[in-house]
């Protein structure tokens, strides 16, 4: 049939690699080194940061591995608290299947980490968690209406925890399922 185009075929497949080395010295990060960020398309390599140019959709996957540890006594070799070793994200958006509408969803994963003030890594780690968020929007000219849900699966988790006086573990729970809506106007 004339005029039909394949759906979800990417003209560009973009990947990235960012390597940052940070040495922990006297409680502050120093010597950060940015090494690489790249994108690949059928014609070669270019600098960019997402998978785009997809007919009716786009995806933006990301994974981060972090090896954050103390390099000096008294905690030499211990993991730095509140820094998860693994984080991952994948977002997908579908647009213009129905003109003006965009549906997007994302899956977010955060690995376990030691609690703040547990430099000795002596206590149980904060649990890992994952969330699913989604959003539906409709745009006409310069006006966009949107509705979304965060933490769709109502995951119970704490983004961070702190070791208090006497080794007490204090947690700061994240919100459960919640929604948002609004209007954007472009001038």
Those residues with Cβ within 8 angstroms of residue 147's Cβ, 6 or more apart along the chain or in another chain: 135, 136, 137, 179, 180, 181
Given pLDDT bands bounded at 50, 70 and 90, which one contains residue 55?
low
Higher pLDDT, 26 or 159: 159
Rounded CA-CA distance 13/29 in Å is 33
Rounded distance, CA 155 to CA 180, Å? 17
DSSP state of 97: S
Spell out the residues 6+ positions from residue 4 whose beta carbon is closer than 8 angstroms to its own: none
182, two tokens:
């609004």
183: pLDDT strictly greater than 70: yes
Decide: 125 and 113 in contact? Cβ < 8 Å: yes
Q: How confident is the model at residue 15 (pLDDT cuts 50, 70, 90)?
A: low
Q: What b/e sequence results for 58-87 when a residue is b if at least 16 CB atoms lie within 10 Å of its CB, and e otherwise?
A: bbbeeeeebebebeeeebeebbbbbebeeb
Q: What is the pLDDT of residue 96?
A: 84
Task: Please state, in angstroms and rounded to a whole number, the distance separating the CA atoms of residues 82 and 24.
Answer: 14
């Amino acid at each position: 049939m004339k005029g039909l185009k394949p759906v979800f075929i990417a003209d560009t497949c973009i990947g990235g690699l960012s390597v940052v080395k940070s040495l922990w010295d006297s409680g502050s990060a120093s010597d950060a080194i940015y090494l690489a960020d790249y994108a690949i398309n059928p014609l070669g390599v270019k600098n960019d940061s997402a998978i785009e140019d997809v007919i009716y959709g786009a995806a933006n996957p990301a994974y981060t591995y972090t090896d954050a540890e103390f390099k000096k006594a008294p905690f030499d070799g211990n993991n730095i608290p509140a820094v998860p070793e693994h984080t991952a994200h994948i977002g997908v958006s579908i647009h213009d299947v129905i003109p003006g509408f965009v549906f997007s969803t994302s899956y977010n994963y955060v690995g376990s980490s030691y609690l703040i003030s547990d430099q000795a890594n002596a206590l149980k780690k904060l649990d890992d968690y994952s969330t699913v968020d989604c959003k539906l929007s409709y745009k006409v000219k310069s006006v966009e209406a949107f509705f979304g849900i965060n933490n769709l699966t109502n995951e119970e988790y704490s983004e961070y925890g702190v070791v208090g006086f006497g080794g007490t573990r204090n947690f700061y729970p994240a919100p459960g399922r919640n929604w948002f809506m609004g209007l954007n106007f472009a001038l």
